[in-house]
Structure 1
């Protein structure tokens, strides 16, 4: 991953899925020297998360994005069918599973994706309480299984809620981010429609995400 690239301007957050939240948080801390803080629980969905702020290379100071570590919530029962949001039930190790973008015209991008025949799933309303007891409400596009194995981002709109990255989160540098696809030109066209046409896309044998994160204790790569 030595090729320079740009971080997409509409990146909202990256999601790492883990089979065990405490172990996943510890693994990220061991690699980077930075420990994620509790985000909150997703009631009725069987998951909870921990968060780290991200400072992307090349972004202006104060821009908002973050890393979400998502896994089974030990305080909840799993859904009856055993599935978890964002295919988190499939994780056997910390995996850069998928990513979210926040185009300024959420509904317009949803309409454009429909017109272009892009399978993004459906729009759902979601909510959770933060560790501090504040209520977050948002809407997003969701599909299971994830489109293009998570390499196609989902769209998110935080509405009137305070963006999670505006909290005083411990932070890692996001040095690099890219999408790999067996059909890079087709992937670029989809990203352009969704609002992330500035994403670096390279050819690869499978659809997957690559990222390079740096903390004071070291570098974490996916």
Structure 2
């Protein structure tokens, strides 16, 4: 059964008296970053750019820019380091049988309010960009995604909009226009309670193993789907 939490205004996020909430990115666990980059290019016509390494996790990523959103390709780069990290172990297990959508993230313009409402801790983070600038952000609930892959973690980006990973320059075969929708297996009531008053373009499958099932990406030629 499909239950939609989407309204016409929800494609770009809706503010109904609270903080603006929108789908920021999805995480695709992969066994090999180069092979994953080739997959999204061959199957979807989308290019990607190098991201970086994650010290302490044993992982690294590539970014598929979509404009105001992106797909994060996440892989284990150091198996020894990953084995001692909850995040590294999670990605290693998730990607063992091939690529798999494992998480989704909602951006908010008031992450402190979202964290207070749900009893979460806001954690700052950063990474260096190739041009020497530093990308900084704050997130909440990322430590929960391995146990609750159906519920998004939250992020708030600092700095100018052009530093957002979705804005990175890359060659695509099709012109992406952002994430149109996401399909998630979850309890509709639990997801609505997690999102609060906000509406985002989510298609809920009210059965099966909780988690992200598919992502619809809008392009100039129509929708393409990542599963």
- TM-score, normalized by the shorter chain, greater than 0.5: yes
CA 199–138 in structure 1, closer or farther in 2 if over 3 Å, else same? same
The separation in 2 between residues aligned to 1:192 and 1:214, in whole angstroms, is 26
Give, in whole Å, the separation in 2 of the partners of 1:21 and 1:207.
25
Secondary structure of 2:105's counterpart equals strand
The one-character-per-residue Cα deviations of 1:88-114 (angstroms, maximum 9, x if unpaired) are 222221111111112111111100112
- What is the CA–CA distance in structure 2 between the aligned matches of 1:70 and 1:133, rounded to whole Å? 22
Residues 1:208 and 2:211 are matched in the alignment = yes
- The answer to whether the 8 A contact 2:112-2:122 is kept is no
Q: Judging changes above 3 Å, is the alpha-carbon distance between structure 1 residues 124 and 179 closer, same or farther for their aligned structure 2 residues?
A: same
Deviation readout 1:67-95 (Å, 9 max, x if unpaired): 11111236x96245154359322222111
Q: What is the deviation of 1:221?
A: 2.9
Which 4+ stretches in 1 moved above 4 angstroms? 2-6
The runs of 5 or more residues in structure 2 that have no matched partner are: 14-21
Separation in structure 2 between the aligned mates of residue 111 and residue 68 of structure 1, nearest angstrom: 27
Shift of 1:214: 6.4
Corresponding residue for residue 157 of structure 2: 158
Is 1:43–1:128's contact at 8 Å kept on the other side of the alignment? no
Q: Structure 1: give runs of 5+ residues left out of the alignment.
A: 56-63, 115-119
Spell out, residue by residue over 1:139-165, the C-alpha distance to the aligned partner (whole angstroms, 9 max, x if none).
2122156242x1111111222363222
Count residues in correspondence.
Answer: 201
Query: CA RMSD, aligned part only?
Result: 3.0
Please report how far the alpha carbon of residue 204 of structure 1 lies from its aligned counterpart in structure 2 after TM superposition: 2.3
- Aligned partner (choices 58, 62, 85) of residue 46 of structure 1: 58
What's 1:11 paired with? Answer: 23
Q: What is the CA deviation profile of residues 19-78 of structure 1, one whole-angstrom value per residue up to 9, with x for unaligned ones? A: 2111111111121122211122223322221112225xxxxxxxx21111111236x962
- The answer as to whether partners of 1:31 and 1:219 remain within 8 angstroms in 2 is no
Structure 1-normalised TM-score? Answer: 0.75
Cα pair distance change 1:72/1:172, threshold 3 Å: farther
CA distance in 2, matches of 1:85, 1:127: 18
